Amino acid sequence: MTTPTAPDLKCSGVCKNFGPVQAVADISFEIPSGTFFSILGPSGCGKTTLMRMIAGFEEPSAGDIFIKGRSVLNVPPNRRNVKMVFQHLALFPMMNVFENIAYGLRCIGTDRDEIARKVQDVLNRVALPDVGEREIHQLSGGQKQRIAIARCMVLDPDVLLLDEPLGALDLKLREAMKIELKLLQNQFDTTFVYITHDQSEALVMSDRVAVMNDGRFEQIGTPQELYHRPQTAFVAGFVGDSNRWSGKVTGTRGAEVTLETEGGTVVRSRPGDGTKVATGDAVELFVRPEFIELVHRTPRQKRTGLSGKVDNLLFNGANSRALVRLATGDLVEVDVTLTGGTDDVKPGEEVSLSWSTKNAVCFPARAAS
Amino acid sequence: MVNQERRLLPGAGSVMKHRDARRLSLILLFMPLALWIVLLILLPHIGMGILSLREKIGPRQYEFGLANYIAFFQEPIYWHIMARTAVISLLVTVLALIVGFPVSYYIAKIAGPRTRGAMFMFCLIPLWVSDLIRAFGWILLLRETGVISGILQWTGLASAPVELLYNDAAVVVGLVYTVMLFMIVPLTSTLDGMDDAMIEAGYNLGGNGLTVLRRIIIPYAMPGIVSGSIIVFMLTAGSYLTPVLLGGKYSSWFTQTIYDQFITRYNWESGAAFGFLLLFFTSFVVWIGLKLSGQSLSSTVARS
């Protein structure tokens, strides 16, 4: 056995090239035991390639992958104790539920009584004790999901990989499965590596999230860190909703940056963690709609913040938004509470917007974009 | 009453007309298929069935009876030939499956989209040439003065001309070649529908190549395997040209016996009975095959 402190999964300097295209570029990370780790990124960012390398279906072009402290570089997929839940689950339609789960145990030569016991045990744990004799097509979407997880968990893997398994489910079921997956992970106490392009899935379920873009990890952190302290413009824009403006720095004072957007709005903000901006730099500014305070403006009131006019209301219950057109022409999304009372903002109303400087984050604009 | 209703619903007349037109077009579209089934399949078989049940008791004197069928079982040569035909047909089917499966697997799962099209073409091209020409191709290769015999002599592996034609092996090789495509097409389409993730899942859960093939790929491809095998078996058992040309006059293929009854001996009654016996027998073999593989006719043939 290896040392108990070895992380369940460790990648160091992993690269993957497909011809001239670099799908995964120099990725290093460690996942401690029992973590729910998500890799979040837009489609085509290389997250599936990374997962396939961990599972052994692709060989890294450079770098090394360690499972429980042991390199798996030349270990074929069927000898790695990493199991995978596929995007479309890939349950075997010609076998019933019991046979699907027993398949892996048969491959390692478990005897019959032991197989029956283990399969029943794992079915109990995913709360589907009576489906063993059913055919796969008789299961509902959520049940299939749980069987796919049970099929992997019965083998007691070091790491369970999940490749966007909720993508095919409808919205209601997806919400329910998010919670269920988190509970299952707690129950099995196994390291889950979850791949998704849906930021809400990643934020809700994960202990730690890695945001991936263009084959690189932009930032690894807890969901709160990613949301409140993004380190790159990509993370700020990709995780959660944000108002986003391009602008130019007009002045800096301590940790505070004054900038002017392309529309001409002058805003104070703070530079993102670990970034530096100087006067004259092109920057991108991010302000989340829920941090903007919207106040009705009366003619007598002293003018604070930015003034504008409500263009439109987007009603969505607790997540309602107001679209405010600033005097300079910039459009701002603001979270508002619409109670149906007389205090609600109405389209056409004059309002003023304000936010605390620490909630307005700016990053140097990328030369490429 | 009817008139009143007509007046109440001003559009009713045109709706009726519209419905009639639709029914007519449906009947017209269905007609070629119906004619084909009735005129070319049903009627000849009924005629043959009646013919096969006529016993000849004297010149131009016939009686209803099963004598033609009984004759088949009383004469060992007939059912020996039938059994021989069945065994060789099964052998051809198995060989076609063994050769065809890797080809199909390559086309469906390994080849890129462009290679796939090219490979499918290569499988199809032999079909553009008639059966007869293809059989003569084999004759050119296999006969005493043929290409293979020549090469064997030239390399010194044989000292005299070698006759490779007119034996069972030549018949089997020729038949496998002729029917190969009918095995590859249903197999490829079945394998094509298989999600690659399923194979990867098979490995991921700890299976080696053999386990994945035996427990996942073959069970998944079973409908295609059975459907291809049925087509190949039926085509082989009912083939005439290839066994005659490559096996010689006495290759003892059952279709030859039927031909002899009709043409040489001018005994249509007996020939018709033999034709039905071949149909019953091959259907019976297919039925056993379906039972053994746990498939149904609708799940296999309908798929391909």
Q: Which two tokens stand for residue A138?
A: 């008789």
Q: Which of residues 162-201 of B touch A (CB under 8 A)?
A: 195, 197-198, 200-201
Q: Is residue A304 part of a domain?
A: yes
Residues A75 and A177 in one domain: yes
Per DSSP, chain A holds a count of helices (H) and strands (E) of 8, 20
Domain count of chain A?
Answer: 2
End position of a domain, from candidates A233, A266, A295: A233
Collect all residues with Cβ–Cβ distance below 8 Å to A64 and sequence separation of at least 6: A11, A12, A13, A14, A71, A73
> What mean pLDDT value characterizes chain B?
86
Q: Is residue A184 part of a domain?
A: yes
- Torsion from C-alpha of A89, A90, A93, A94, nearest 10 degrees: -140
Residues A212 and A300 in one domain: no
pTM flag (> 0.90): no
Residues A78 and A21 in one domain: yes
Residues A296 and A191 in one domain: no
Residues of B in contact with A118 (CB under 8 A): none
End position of a domain, from candidates A181, A204, A233: A233
Residues A321 and A344 in one domain: yes
Cβ distance B206 to A78 less than 8 Å, yes or no, reads: yes
Q: Is residue A4 part of a domain?
A: no
pLDDT at B249 over 80: no
Cβ distance B220 to A55 less than 8 Å, yes or no, reads: no
The pLDDT confidence band at residue B40, using thresholds 50, 70 and 90, is confident
pLDDT digits (tens, 9 = 90+) for A25-34: 989 999 988 8
Average pLDDT over residues A202-227: 92
pLDDT digits (tens, 9 = 90+) for B231-240: 999 999 999 8
pLDDT at A1 over 70: no
Residues A208 and A290 in one domain: no
- Which of A161, A92, A154, A94 has its CA nearest to residue A128? A154
Cβ distance B208 to A57 less than 8 Å, yes or no, reads: no
The SS3 of residue B117 is: helix
| pLDDT value for A302 | 54
Percent of chain A with pLDDT over 90: 39
| pLDDT value for A369 | 41
pLDDT at A347 over 90: no
Give the whole-angstrom CA distance, residue A212 versus residue A24.
Answer: 10
Residues of B in contact with A155 (CB under 8 A): 205-206
Q: Of the ranges A92-106, A200-214, A352-366, B187-201, which one carries the lowest mean pLDDT score?
A: A352-366
Residues of A in contact with B219 (CB under 8 A): 92, 94-95
Query: What CATH number corresponds to the domain at position A142?
Result: 3.40.50.300
The residue in chain B having the minimum alpha-carbon distance to the alpha carbon of residue A104 is: B205
Cβ distance B206 to A92 less than 8 Å, yes or no, reads: no
Residues A221 and A277 in one domain: no
Q: Is residue A265 part of a domain?
A: yes
Residues A246 and A318 in one domain: yes
Q: Which two tokens stand for residue B136?
A: 């003569």
Residues A167 and A314 in one domain: no
ipTM of this complex = 0.81
Residues A136 and A205 in one domain: yes
Q: Is residue A2 part of a domain?
A: no
Q: Is residue A108 part of a domain?
A: yes
Residues of A in contact with B197 (CB under 8 A): 86-88, 90
pLDDT digits (tens, 9 = 90+) for A312-331: 888 888 888 999 988 888 88
Query: What CATH number corresponds to the domain at position A288?
Result: 2.40.50.140
Q: Is residue A1 part of a domain?
A: no
Rounded to a whole number, what is the distance in Å from the CA of B142 to chain A's nearest CA?
44
Residues A222 and A331 in one domain: no
Partner residue opposite A57 with nearest CB, options B198, B200, B219? B200
Residues of A in contact with B203 (CB under 8 A): 56-57, 76-78
Domain that holds residue A322: 241-367
Residues A54 and A176 in one domain: yes
Q: Are A332 and A355 in contact (CB under 8 A)?
A: no
Cβ distance A90 to B201 less than 8 Å, yes or no, reads: yes
> By CB neighbour count within 10 A (0-12 exposed, 13-18 middle, 19+ buried), where does B116 fall?
middle
End position of a domain, from candidates A200, A233, A266: A233
Q: Is residue A93 part of a domain?
A: yes
